[in-house]
Amino acid sequence: RTAAVHFEPDDQVDRLKSEILRKLTYSLGKAPAAAQAHDWLTAGILATRDHAIDVWQASTKESYATGRKRVYYLSLEFLIGRSLADTLNNLGLTEPMTRAMRELGVDLPEIETIEPDAALGNGGLGRLAACYMEAMASTGVPALGYGIRYDHGLFKQGIENGRQIERPEDWLSFRNPWEFERREASYRIGFGGSVAASGPDQVVWTPEETVFAVAYDTPVVGWRGRDSTTLRLWRARAMHPLSLDAFNKGDLVGAVAERNRAEAISKVLYPNDSTPAGQELRLRQEFFFTSASLQDLVHRHHRQFGSLDNLAEKAAIQLNDTHPSLAVAELMRLLLDEHKFNWEKAWEITNATISYTNHTLLPEALETWPVALVERLLPRHMQIIFGINARFLDAVRRRSPDADLASLSLIDEHHGRRVRMANLAFVGSHTVNGVSALHSNLMKETVFAQLHRAFPERITNVTNGITPRRWLLNANPGLTRLLQEVCGEAVADDIGLVRQFGAHADDRAVQERLAAIRRDNKLRLAKVIQQDCGVVVDPEVLFDVQIKRVHEYKRQLLNILETIALYNAIRSEPYRDWAPRVKVFAGKAASNYTTAKSIINLINDVAAVVNNDITTRDRLKVVFLPNYNVSLAELIIPAADLSEQISTAGMEASGTGNMKFALNGAITIGTLDGANIEIGERVGADNIVIFGLTADEVEIAKRNPRPSAEVIRATPHLEGVLDAVAGGAYSPGERDRYAQLVEGLRLNDWFLVLRDFESYHQAQRRVDALWADRARWWQMSVANTAHCAWFSADRAIGEYAERIWHVPAGQAARA
Ligand code: 26W
């Protein structure tokens, strides 16, 4: 499908120029002479959006006309980042738009950097959803992504005196030129109230409170503008924005109380990554967007096909983790109460339509809600959940009398009766998937062991993927040019072609080109490091990078403790030929996660000491870049030599940053965890640096913990490092600042920081040796890029489409 008429290059530039000027004049009401950078950006986005709309309407029209099956991707998070550069690239308009802007006196790359970074997500799960929306558009899978249009995305992180401070994020303050408000697509979302039986399986629910969900649509254009998907985000509005009663009595606060309560639902993203907030407002968010999305898709299906009997043939609903688990109960409610299906038929349709992706096995991350809360907020849904549970447990009991019903139940009876959202999602889905081979296997053995016995066919694996358009073509144009020269222009269309790059691993000319590209990328990053951290770093040194949410299981603490050991070693033998390094950290900590915040503080305190020590001056630097987000990742990843993927084995479900680094040619130092294992299998054991306990060994180590004191005694240098940290060597103004952090390790090394220390330290010395042999290093780098095409999101989406959704892709995913 061709999106728009193709023009000769010059015509195209002229056309874009006049489109931009029209937007500036008639949509923004600005004369070119008065336009500020931000006005040019908005005009550029609006002009680009017109081109996206051409694609979008063609896609939508086609999928309606042919009655094709559609995917509905329900996610409480979409971590989008900036959109202009990627949209232009996918539309093939980067060149002409750059020229058009230049002829209007505007530097496009410069104004692109003032586009706000849409951070409607916390980390991996949210970014995955964004990559998948783009990959579905690129591979021709008709799809709608459903989520919440938060007024405020993930908080902005500042570092003050070495400590994280949170500032509110405000991405909508200049409006969002990409979106379309759809007042006509709005639904009533009920809360509370009472229920009364009205038929054998039917109930009338009379909510006590009702809020409106209003749709905001954004087109997501795929590669070469062949196709597009839609991101539909819901905003909460009050039914009655002003209570006239209260207003007339002079109660001005009371007059807007309903409005405030309703609009609170889409006010702000919860900044928790992996621990449930447990607040009522969060449950309201979950139901709000789940109900709006299901009402919308059921309504549209009914309008298109006149019946819901064939819903499962035309709709695949994917639950991105348990946050939208209420979809199971809400779809049942719509089928039973509104469309008068009987229970059996409604259940059959629900189960055939829904599937669920699990993203974490950390026990503290598994969502549960008190039965009493669900009952009060969603009385009908609680009834339905009990109904599902009774039938499910009955069926299991009949089939296998010795089954462990207490652990299968949708209700946890041990902690004051709570609804287990993972069990609800699991039972309600036809397929449940993990996000890496190891993770999917561990699901079967641990958290979902009993459910897996009850449904041995249900769990499958789809290893995560990343979009190569954003993370290679756009983030790393230098490497992309080289790959196109070596593997052909078509690598952009078929990332699988990077495999040919592998044949050039020993080619000196290729190695030199790679070194020059990396150096340029490092220079770009060095400028930002100087601006944001006030530290001058030399682009010739090894850039050793760990960027991700800060969490104990990700073990930034292991990295910084080993950095201290290295610092001590350099100081005691300053004349040895140390591989000069800069340790780059970035990442946010949940605002209430004290230990993670203390780790950030320690990294910054260590940086202050190390960076001011003249003995280690040209050997070691430590920097913590504030406010990690998608845009910063796009800058950092192409500049990385070494990628730190050092989670405690068994704890990182997959990781996706690991894939981005490897595709860009960084060498991974990592544990055998998540997708690291699959990266290792593809790039080969010689081209990755693996250390530490395996997931099986971690299991054993946890059952039989070795006392920390013993581990410390057996590990050279560790005692000194811990004593220094605990004794205030890095916090001279507050000597016991890290006493608790270190005491925690000594008491219970739950994440095996101490246990894996020596192995990690040795692995870093192997890195030193590899770096010293630069030809070897570039060989490894080539192998990483050449063998990581499989981690393309197009491949992952192809697997979902074929094995879970049963939708034909428009274009076969080639990876
Ligand atoms: C309810 C609290 C909560 C919030 C977020 C629980 C769990 C989460 C997410 C599941 C955390 C998350 O982002 N998980 C990450 O998902 C990525 C995409 O699959 C994986 O690559 C990461 O390994 C996993 O940590």
DSSP 493: T
Of all residues in the chain, the percent with pLDDT exceeding 90 is 95
Catalytic hit among 23, 99, 156, 359:
359
| Residue 491: strand, helix, or coil | helix
Sheet (strand 418-420) strand order = 368-370, 418-420, 411-412
Gap between the Cα atoms of 460 and 800, Å rounded: 10
Determine the atom of ligand 1 nearest the C-alpha atom of 365.
6
pLDDT for 60-83, tens place per residue?
Answer: 888 888 899 999 999 999 999 999
Ligand 1 centroid distance, CA of 285 (Å): 18
Which string of DSSP letters, residue by residue, matches 247-300?
HHTT-HHHHTHHHHHHHGGGTB----SSS----HHHHHHHHHHHHHHHHHHHHH
CA distances from 319 to 284, 485, 526 (A): 17, 41, 40
Query: Which residues, listed in sequence order, are joined to residue 582 by a DSSP beta bridge?
Result: 543, 621
Determine the atom of ligand 1 nearest the C-alpha atom of 652.
23
Tell me if residue 554 is catalytic. yes
Identity of the amino acid at 92: G
User: Which pLDDT score is estimated for 808?
Assistant: 86
Average per-residue pLDDT for the chain? 96
Helix or strand (DSSP H, E) at 50 = helix 37-65
pLDDT for 205-240, tens place per residue?
Answer: 999 999 999 999 999 999 999 999 999 999 999 999
Gap between the Cα atoms of 376 and 381, Å rounded: 10
Ligand 1 centroid distance, CA of 461 (Å): 16
Q: At 216, give phi and psi (nearest 5°).
A: -125, 120
Tell me if residue 359 is catalytic. yes
Catalytic hit among 467, 616, 656, 668:
656
Name the nearest CA neighbour of 587 among 618, 620, 560.
Answer: 560
Of 122, 132, 360, best ligand 1 pocket probe by most atoms within 8 Å of the beta carbon: 360
Note whether 358 and 436 are within 8 A (CB): no
Position 6 confidence tier, pLDDT thresholds 50, 70, 90:
low
Position 518 confidence tier, pLDDT thresholds 50, 70, 90:
very high
Gap between the Cα atoms of 448 and 433, Å rounded: 11
Gap between the Cα atoms of 712 and 756, Å rounded: 11
Ligand 1 centroid distance, CA of 445 (Å): 19
Gap between the Cα atoms of 373 and 416, Å rounded: 12
84-86-92-93 Cα dihedral, nearest 10 degrees: 20
Alpha-carbon Rg for the chain, nearest whole angstrom, is 27
Average pLDDT over residues 504-528: 98
Name the nearest CA neighbour of 221 among 62, 65, 100, 60.
Answer: 60
Note whether 693 and 756 are within 8 A (CB): yes
Note whether 435 and 464 are within 8 A (CB): yes
Ligand 1: residues whose CB is within 6 Å?
A: 123-125, 128, 272-276, 321, 359-360, 365, 367, 435, 464, 652-656, 674
pLDDT for 105-164, tens place per residue?
Answer: 999 999 999 999 999 999 999 999 999 999 999 999 999 999 999 999 999 999 999 999
Catalytic hit among 284, 583, 660, 761:
660
Tell me if residue 229 is catalytic. no
Catalytic hit among 554, 588, 619, 795:
554
Q: At 791, give phi and psi (nearest 5°).
A: -85, 10
Residue nearest to atom 17 of ligand 1 (CA): 124
Determine the atom of ligand 1 nearest the C-alpha atom of 321.
10
Gap between the Cα atoms of 652 and 813, Å rounded: 27
User: Which pLDDT score is estimated for 2?
Assistant: 41
Contacts of 497 (CB under 8 A, 6+ apart): 487, 488, 490, 491, 789
The number of angstroms, rounded, from the C-alpha of 696 to the middle of its chain's C-alpha atoms is: 27
Name the nearest CA neighbour of 488 among 504, 471, 511, 474.
Answer: 504
Determine the atom of ligand 1 nearest the C-alpha atom of 653.
23
Ligand 1 centroid distance, CA of 717 (Å): 34
Average pLDDT over residues 526-550: 98
pLDDT for 250-286, tens place per residue?
Answer: 999 999 999 999 999 999 999 998 888 889 999 999 9
Position 3 confidence tier, pLDDT thresholds 50, 70, 90:
very low
Length of the chain: 815
pLDDT for 597-635, tens place per residue?
Answer: 999 999 999 999 999 999 999 999 999 999 999 999 999
User: Which pLDDT score is estimated for 811?
Assistant: 57
Residue nearest to atom 7 of ligand 1 (CA): 274
Domains of the chain plus CATH, in order, are: 1-66+83-116 (no CATH), 67-82+117-464+798-805 (3.40.50.2000), 468-695+756-785 (3.40.50.2000)
pLDDT for 373-389, tens place per residue?
Answer: 999 999 999 999 999 99
Tell me if residue 588 is catalytic. no
Ligand 1 centroid distance, CA of 256 (Å): 36
Determine the atom of ligand 1 nearest the C-alpha atom of 656.
21
Of 359, 553, 592, best ligand 1 pocket probe by most atoms within 8 Å of the beta carbon: 359
Ligand 1 centroid distance, CA of 131 (Å): 15
User: Which pLDDT score is estimated for 143?
Assistant: 97
pLDDT for 764-810, tens place per residue?
Answer: 999 999 999 999 999 999 999 999 999 999 999 999 999 999 998 77
Interstrand relation of 209-221 and 163-167 (parallel, antiparallel or unpaired): unpaired
Ligand 1 centroid distance, CA of 741 (Å): 24
User: Which pLDDT score is estimated for 813?
Assistant: 41
Position 814 confidence tier, pLDDT thresholds 50, 70, 90:
very low
Helix or strand (DSSP H, E) at 772 = helix 757-772
Helix or strand (DSSP H, E) at 747 = helix 739-747
Tell me if residue 548 is catalytic. yes
Of 125, 588, 654, best ligand 1 pocket probe by most atoms within 8 Å of the beta carbon: 125
User: Which pLDDT score is estimated for 185?
Assistant: 84
pLDDT for 288-317, tens place per residue?
Answer: 999 999 999 999 999 999 999 999 999 999
Tell me if residue 446 is catalytic. no
Residue showing tokens 């630097």: 621
Query: Which residues, listed in sequence order, are joined to residue 213 by a DSSP beta bridge?
Result: 187, 236
